[in-house]
Structure 1
């Protein structure tokens, strides 16, 4: 069952898309084929991604209201949940939509990694009838970066773009008042902010350098497209 789902919905489509672009691109550059594949996947997932970005931006807008509700009903869990749901319903928000896009993209990442890892050998039995087998497979991105080996430069680029994606996505940090009482929720939010801005990008650098460069290239392109989506949705909501 798992094998069927993996091959039918993830690996085989990604593998065929990658091979199609390798054959189509005149230099047969696997790196460029990876970029084209990631962009195509992003376009397919665009409706879900835009909805997640919209949720993210609207959550920033209603954050003061949500915080006031949490403070008012902090000792009444049922009323708290009811009032929060009223806000979500009024604003047509689904707090779990950003999580959905992440869940979908993870198997895509692994499928792309294993697809590139299998190159330059091509498994013809996995190809769809309309996907030709390329005569040449160029494993060097832009003629210099091997996609099947580690690359620190791309790993650093993945971490940097992840940091800027977090900066675009996260709400502005609230300044603490000098006489403010300890606030567990605010402390937790500050910790999550620090993790997203600094810990996660460093983790991505380490993770990217631990595997083939295709992982870092995936994160870099994915982060850049996510930044563009966030800025687009932010402008659309503000209009």
Structure 2
């Protein structure tokens, strides 16, 4: 983790120096650097994120077929599971396909927890330590005193998960819905005392994920129409 912490710290400082060259005001440069940093991380992880989103979109599409199989073999759970796994194979769906990108992003998130707690913003003219604000946040490297970002983290976490969740009233759909609500509440609780910089990263990450899901869904629909 020390290697990852140091690497991400240097990477962020490099991005910020580039942003600061264009936007010298630190009250804007640090916030914009975090947004750009998030976008670059998403681009680096794009192949895995595309795989995750595609898997979730396909899983949504075959939910009616899964429900039919569950109804057909409701008295034979083992046969039902076999037929569902057969369907997954036929449709090229990996039910665990969404896990790997999430697993990879967790170490990054925890490393950024360290990065944003150790960054010491300085004035580009005087080279003295300063407090950096961004939008409504009075201190970007402390917690959001208005708690707007933590609430946004919960809302965007729920919406991004909802967009990829199975549809319908199946047991799996209900379980996923409950998990999504629980995860959103958990993120609000965790973000309450996180630095605003880290929560800004997470909210931006969720918004990008939502846009990617919409795009992937449209592309999959176009493939079906061809």
> Normalization by structure 1: what TM-score?
0.77
- Quick check: 1:25 aligned with 2:15? no
Distance 1:138 1:42, change over 3 A: farther
Does structure 1 conserve the Cα–Cα contact (< 8 Å) formed by 2:116 and 2:198?
no
1:210 and 1:142 map into 2 onto residues whose CA distance is: 17
Q: Secondary structure at the match of 1:38?
A: helix
Distance 1:194 1:78, change over 3 A: closer
Deviates more, 1:83-92 or 1:136-145: 136-145
Q: What is the match of residue 190 of structure 1?
A: 174
Task: Show structure 1 runs of 5+ residues with no match.
Answer: 1-5, 123-134, 175-185
Distance 1:60 1:44, change over 3 A: same
Matches within 5 A, 1:76-155: 76=76, 78-120=78-120, 140-142=132-134, 145=137, 146-151=139-144, 152-155=147-150
1:143 and 1:193 map into 2 onto residues whose CA distance is: 33
2:74 and 2:216 map into 1 onto residues whose CA distance is: 32
Distance 1:201 1:220, change over 3 A: same
Count of residue pairs brought into register by the alignment = 209
- Quick check: 1:55 aligned with 2:55? yes
Does structure 2 conserve the Cα–Cα contact (< 8 Å) formed by 1:35 and 1:218?
yes
Distance 1:235 1:141, change over 3 A: farther
Does structure 2 conserve the Cα–Cα contact (< 8 Å) formed by 1:159 and 1:202?
yes
Which of 213, 218, 226 in structure 1 is aligned with 2:196?
213
Q: CA deviation at 1:194?
A: 3.6
- Quick check: 1:236 aligned with 2:222? no
Does structure 1 conserve the Cα–Cα contact (< 8 Å) formed by 2:56 and 2:98?
yes
Deviation string 1:152-182 (CA, Å, 9 cap, x unpaired) is 11112212222322332224444xxxxxxxx
Task: Show structure 2 runs of 5+ residues with no match.
Answer: none
1:13 and 1:75 map into 2 onto residues whose CA distance is: 54
Bigger relative contact order, structure 1 or 2 (CA pairs below 8 A, ≥6 apart): 1
Deviates more, 1:84-93 or 1:25-34: 25-34
